[in-house]
């Protein structure tokens, strides 16, 4: 990571938006974003059409890291079942980190409610990609109903992340048997 002094105003705003929106929610004010980034409101609005556009750009910028942390590499040669289990092992590992507050993409969708909001659209696309991954692996693994299994897995993924994110539950010893039961019921190899 480059030092804050070497980052451009745009980079500082994107970082501030990612940090503050994850910690405090998407309702964080423009003033707080600009203060954290060390950028004037005028500069922010020269760089981004709106706070919504800034939030969307911040989510977009972090999407490849999110996918890389969550999903196995494309050239990973494990079985589809093992590739799916890998995702949930990663969730359990991330949920144990002290700063974990759940999935930022799910949080944005819940907080905004407006599916037309630019940040909500980015979040919806990213979460849709995860569901598509689940479906593709389910199909490759011979699941009896790949669509249903993908929907069940995203439900477990989102529910597990949300419960761990609010400190309501530990995923240790909970998520693996839940996912295994779904994979077994679907006939996954």
- Domain residue limits, the chain: 4-185
One-letter-per-residue 3-state SS of 55-109:
HHHHHHHHHHHHHHHHCCCCCCCCCHHHHHHHHHHHHHHHHCCCCCCCCHHHHHH
Pick out the chain residues at pLDDT < 50.
Answer: 1-2
CA distances from 7 to 11, 29, 54, 77 (A): 6, 22, 16, 38
Cα–Cα distance, 41 to 35 (Å, whole number): 9
**What percent of the chain shows pLDDT beyond 70?**
97
| CATH superfamily entry for domain 4-185 | Tetracycline Repressor, domain 2 (1.10.357.10)
Comparing CA positions, the residue from 90, 91, 84 lying closest to residue 153 is 84
Q: Do residues 83 and 72 make contact, with C-beta atoms less than 8 angstroms apart?
A: yes
Q: Which residue has the tokens 């979460």?
A: 127
pLDDT tens, 60-87? Answer: 999 999 999 999 998 999 999 999 999 9
């Amino acid at each position: 990571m480059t030092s804050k002094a070497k980052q451009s105003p745009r980079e500082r705003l994107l970082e501030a938006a990612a940090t503050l929106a994850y910690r405090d929610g998407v309702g964080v004010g423009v003033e707080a974003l600009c203060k954290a980034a060390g950028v004037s409101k005028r500069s922010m609005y020269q760089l981004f059409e709106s706070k919504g556009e800034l939030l969307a750009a911040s989510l977009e910028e972090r999407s490849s890291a999110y996918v890389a942390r969550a999903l196995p590499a494309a050239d990973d040669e494990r079985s589809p079942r093992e590739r799916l289990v890998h995702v949930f092992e990663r969730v359990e590992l991330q949920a144990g980190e002290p700063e974990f507050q759940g999935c930022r993409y799910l949080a944005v969708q819940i907080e905004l409610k407006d599916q037309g909001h630019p940040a909500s659209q980015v979040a919806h696309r990213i979460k849709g990609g995860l569901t598509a991954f689940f479906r593709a692996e389910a199909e490759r693994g011979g699941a009896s109903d790949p669509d249903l299994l993908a929907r069940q897995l995203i439900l477990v993924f989102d529910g597990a992340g949300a419960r761990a994110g609010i400190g309501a539950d530990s995923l240790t010893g909970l998520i693996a048997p839940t996912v295994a039961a779904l994979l077994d019921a679907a006939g996954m190899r």
